Amino acid sequence: MLTVIAMSATSVAAALVTLNRITGWKFITKHRTAVDVTFTVGMAVAFAGTLTGMLVAVMAGLMMALFLSLVTAPSKIWDRMTAKLNKEPADREHDADGNWVYNQAPYLREGELK
């Protein structure tokens, strides 16, 4: 059983390192479901034919799903926290004070119209 776990962990690590070099972590975390399903199906096809091979494929699929869930959870929490702090107004044509933003020219000072 230890051999199955070791082979699964090695397969997951190798796939993630290779995919990270090709696409980057943002792509992996954004498309984590597709990455997980593709990896699991690919492992099942690669190791089909023996019971041990299928055990490795199933265990590797579970490890990949757990790893991708654990990696993306902190980023989701961080995004929620920063979204509350950096809340943009629903009306982009008015600032927080209710002034129309198009009347505010940065190159003119108060009372200095040419």
How far are the Cα atoms of 6, 8, 10, 53, 108 from residue 48, in angstroms, in the given order?
A: 18, 14, 18, 6, 73
Q: Residue 23 above 60 pLDDT?
A: yes
User: Average pLDDT in the 61-68 region?
Assistant: 94
Domains of the chain, by residue range, sit at 2-85
pTM greater than 0.95 (yes/no): no
Written as one letter, the residue type at 14 is: A
Percent of the chain scored above 70 by pLDDT?
77
pLDDT tens-place string over residues 88-105: 655 567 676 777 776 666
Q: Which three-class secondary structure state does DSSP give residue 100?
A: strand
Q: Which two tokens stand for residue 102?
A: 């198009």
Residue with the two structure tokens 């119209």:
113
| Calpha distance 93→91 (Å, rounded) | 6
Band (pLDDT 50/70/90 cuts) for residue 41 is very high
Quickly list DSSP for 34-69.
HHHHHHHHHHHHHTTTSHHHHHHHHHHHHHHHHHHH
Residues written for the chain: 114
What value does the mean pLDDT take over residues 57-85?
Answer: 85
Within a 10 A sphere around the Cβ of 60, how many other Cβ atoms? Answer: 27
Position 71 scores a pLDDT of 87
Indicate the residue type of 15. A
